[in-house]
Structure 1
């Protein structure tokens, strides 16, 4: 594990050397770089001699900072800082859930750094369209008055949703304006995902513009998207993007 520093926080990451274009994995909300998908993809990269990067945003995993202090823009800047520091040239970015939103932000603002995208249950705009839209009037009032709100999670302790997370997220929304993705894009989505509905994947596919975009729905797959067949599909999707770039599946 290596680290860099950004905005007073140490950002942990792990680099697997190999050929380019490299592959970058961006995890989800309150996840870390030691998750099943990240490690499986790292193993694939090692077997195929492909450069690979996984990382922890501030307040996540082994990185410094606190989760409740962060917001989408912070985690986007964290990811970009690590990518800029330790990779060269365009990368194939694999974004899971919130990581899909962050990957799309990088694609919008730094397209020269993106060779292609693979998203897994991408969750663009979830702070607004998921949390804020789903809160009751009482929850919204408490969030605005107290600055934070605890909500149940299927993955352990309740999530602390802050007023800053909601308000800062409004500056990062992607589905309200043009989103051009001029490279191969493969979107993966489970039909049994209780966190990110199929409707979100369809909305993203219809909203974004690009010459080579595909959405694959996996019947019965949930938000974890970590069963063996699902992990293999992620790997094949990365290989497909690389093949579209003229790299072939492996070297």
Structure 2
């Protein structure tokens, strides 16, 4: 159920929703092969994949958020200061709570939103102990070691604008991802640890606003990624609601 489509006479639908979905995107450069709205399409796309039987209501995706320094210098990126975005997200979630909804799913498609989202969730639950947040970063809904099964060779495909992310976009909008033969590829730096999701902020050495072996981007890989992520995402949401 989309919140934008609820009529004024049907506001009870909001109060009876089991949870609210807040899709978090960004408007950011993702390379010559990718749309500026990459994270918006992913946030909206995965929101559409949430099992409607779970009883959620989906709000409009947030398009403008904080972007890191390594992408904000590229034309096309529009970045909001982190403090401003944090205050915005606080007001938004408080507004959701005022509608009578106590479970809030932050469905995130931009790694720059992770820290702010956690800070806001911890702050709001301090004010409202009966409220529960779930932060889902869609790209974490597929195991890293599934890369070979997905179809990637000699790479996990992960990285900003890389084949993992852009294959997923292609699954939702095949018309918007176009890798040309002359587009440069970046192999990326060796991993610092065997543990996943280690954050190192700064400008990577192999980088021009994107990274990865992008020639491996494909619709087939994207469908596998989206299907696998969807199953795991819905299982996680169901477990959250039943806890």
TM-score of the superposition, structure 1-length normalised?
0.44
Q: Which has the higher helix share?
A: 2
Q: Which has the higher strand share?
A: 1
- Larger RCO: Structure 1 or Structure 2 (Cα < 8 Å, ≥ 6 residues apart)? 2
**Quick check: which has more Rg, 1 or 2?**
2
